[in-house]
Amino acid sequence: MTRSISTLTSLMMNSEKTKDDLPTIKLVKETKVTSYDWELEMDDDTFAMMVKMGKEEATDQDFVNIAVIAGLQHYLDKE
């Protein structure tokens, strides 16, 4: 995602509200993180084990972050 948070905020504030809009979400802290998206090859059993481990380790905040990123991407794809 190459647009800044201020640009995204401006876009969202200037768009028309619909019944599917979320309530206001206030950004209170931003932490820059480095991550990698690897393409890994593994058998189905190993994949299932990794998914299970990931779900056990993920926090509610992890799921919120995923939802925000997905929501912003969905919004940008509509633009």
Alpha helices in the chain (DSSP H): 5-14, 44-57, 60-78
pLDDT band at 1, cuts 50/70/90? very low
**What percent of the chain is predicted at pLDDT more than 90?**
37
pLDDT at 17 over 70: no
Mean pLDDT score of the chain: 82
Per domain, the residue ranges of the chain are 42-79
10 or 25, higher pLDDT: 25
Could you report the per-residue pLDDT of 21-56, keeping only the tens digit for each? 767 888 888 888 888 989 999 999 999 999 999 999
How many Å separate Cα 48 from the centre of its chain? 22
- Contact indicator for 50, 42 with CB cutoff of 8 Å: yes
